[in-house]
Structure 1
């Protein structure tokens, strides 16, 4: 099982709600917000479940109507929500503003179920959990972020760990602590997926991106990532191995509707392909064959292309990818 560890929330998506009579008169559409299940880690878990991987989610979930919506969506995509801590605190809401197909977020997270996690209440994991995935805004703030960090430290060396920082600096209440936490968690991981924006925030300065990636990879064997994946949007992705080779794959052509969930789906595609090929541990150690790495990255790009071709974070089912 791949256990995804991080936020599950509700994206409030702007949607036209124009009165039918006004629409007849040619009036401008008024916008409302429609609740959609979301969150970077939630999206990755759903994509993994739809791609046929045994998947679970460790998060803080609410008993409110939005929490029930999230749990229902997890089960519908074959994701086990049983690792989550359920409370009476409210669900995190993220109001989304779409500009030129790109999403900007405004979060309401104070005293939420997700923020209610504590380092002293970590779940014991069964033997069938072989890999952990961390990322998103869940790593930003407070005791909940420390809970995820503690889990990564506890499981380092016991299970494969992948992290996608997916930096949201504007959400952090203390950017210094947030940067320190991400740097420490990266050292626990075997696989790290970043964008150039992530790298430039985590490691400030004018050094070239490739130098910052090598900074991540220069840990002693067994003490840090063996693979860093750099995603480049429409320019594809690159995989940098501690053993030396760099592998590049192009983005797959798609008519982009929006980019919501694209990176999350890429993560799931890579994890699913590497897991099925039996090379996830090799990727984490940096010893994966470059051609196998190319195939795993290419699968991530393939499933991400499907997601960007339709509205919202709606990852493909495995059956949709045939051919």
Structure 2
């Protein structure tokens, strides 16, 4: 099983007339949903509110075959993210204080189920305490033979303590076997140097593999053993980019599971063909997501 840990929220997305319409979202939820739709065994650690939006989120997860058995249930409100679209690109305004996910404490987290092969951490849940520290502690507590993947999906405007956030991400990257960053993310983390130098710096922090995405310019896998594989972006008619990177993450994890490579030891031994197949599936799934409104990852049947 793949266990994802992070936010579930409601994206308020403007329709053609400019009115905001609720859609289930959240970076980590989107990755879990994409995994479920690709046929993977997946569960989500998140905060689930008893409010109507929480029910909407639960129904969405269930419909996409994502287990909510590990979710933390409460009466706190659901996080809202108002999405602002410009030329298909999304920026966000968050309403997150004292919400179902934001206030998760270590005592709220159940034991990781037996049979969990990999854990995925990311999104705005890594930005601010208490949930950010709770998830970091969970990541650092994982055994060395359980694969950990992290995608910070950095939102600088959402961070309350920049120094604390950088320190938290540094610790997570040191533990993670796979780190996924966009070109914007890595530019925020490491302002100086070209992309190649920045990639080496991330790997030197401890990751076995860095997945570096550059939007329409494709994606590159950099491995600590020196292997480097690049795949072009799939052509798509872009409606918006909401959920594209999250779907990319799911494609990578699904491809690794299908290649029986969902372990730290297997990452070290990946060959170029397997890496190319992984990036290709990730690019295909992301291309379908950007071709329709909101975070709406494809089902496996759409790829066949």
TM-score, length basis structure 1: 0.92
Counterpart mapping for 1:31-50 below 5 A: 31-50=18-37
Residues 240-289 of structure 1, C-alpha deviations (whole Å, 9 max, x = no match): 01111100001011111111110000100111011011122267643211
Tell me how far apart the structure 2 counterparts of residues 280 and 295 of structure 1 sit (CA, whole Å): 14
Structure 2 residue 200 is the aligned partner of structure 1 residue 217:
no
SS at match of 1:35: strand
Q: In the alignment, is the contact (CA less than 8 A) between 1:227 and 1:284 conserved in 2?
A: no
Counterpart mapping for 1:216-295 below 5 A: 216-219=202-205, 224-281=206-263, 285-295=267-277
Q: In the alignment, is the contact (CA less than 8 A) between 1:183 and 1:202 conserved in 2?
A: no
Residues 84-139 of structure 1, C-alpha deviations (whole Å, 9 max, x = no match): 10000000000111110011100000110011101233220121111000111000
Tell me how far apart the structure 2 counterparts of residues 217 and 172 of structure 1 sit (CA, whole Å): 24
1:74–1:265 distance in 2 versus 1, CA, 3 Å: same
Tell me how far apart the structure 1 counterparts of residues 173 and 268 of structure 2 sit (CA, whole Å): 15
Structure 2 residue 135 is the aligned partner of structure 1 residue 148:
yes
Structure 2 residue 280 is the aligned partner of structure 1 residue 298:
yes
Counterpart mapping for 1:13-32 below 5 A: 13-16=13-16, 29=17, 31-32=18-19
Tell me how far apart the structure 2 counterparts of residues 282 and 188 of structure 1 sit (CA, whole Å): 11
Structure 2 residue 174 is the aligned partner of structure 1 residue 198:
no
Q: Which 10-residue stretch deviates more, 224-233 or 118-127?
A: 118-127
Tell me how far apart the structure 2 counterparts of residues 169 and 286 of structure 1 sit (CA, whole Å): 32
Q: What residue is the counterpart of 1:313 in the other structure?
A: 295
Unaligned runs of 5+ in 2: none
Unaligned runs of 5+ in 1: 17-28
Tell me how far apart the structure 1 counterparts of residues 221 and 73 of structure 2 sit (CA, whole Å): 37
CA RMSD of aligned residues (A): 1.2
CA displacement at 1:203 relative to structure 2: 2.4
TM-score, length basis structure 2: 0.97
Counterpart mapping for 1:101-140 below 5 A: 101-140=88-127
- Moved beyond 3 Å, runs of 4+: 282-285
Counterpart mapping for 1:49-128 below 5 A: 49-128=36-115
Structure 2 residue 167 is the aligned partner of structure 1 residue 180:
yes
Tell me how far apart the structure 2 counterparts of residues 128 and 85 of structure 1 sit (CA, whole Å): 20
Tell me how far apart the structure 2 counterparts of residues 283 and 107 of structure 1 sit (CA, whole Å): 38
SS at match of 1:115: coil
**How many correspondences in the alignment?**
304
Q: In the alignment, is the contact (CA less than 8 A) between 1:163 and 1:189 conserved in 2?
A: yes
Pick the structure with greater CA Rg. Answer: 1
Residues 163-204 of structure 1, C-alpha deviations (whole Å, 9 max, x = no match): 011101100100110111011101110000011211121223
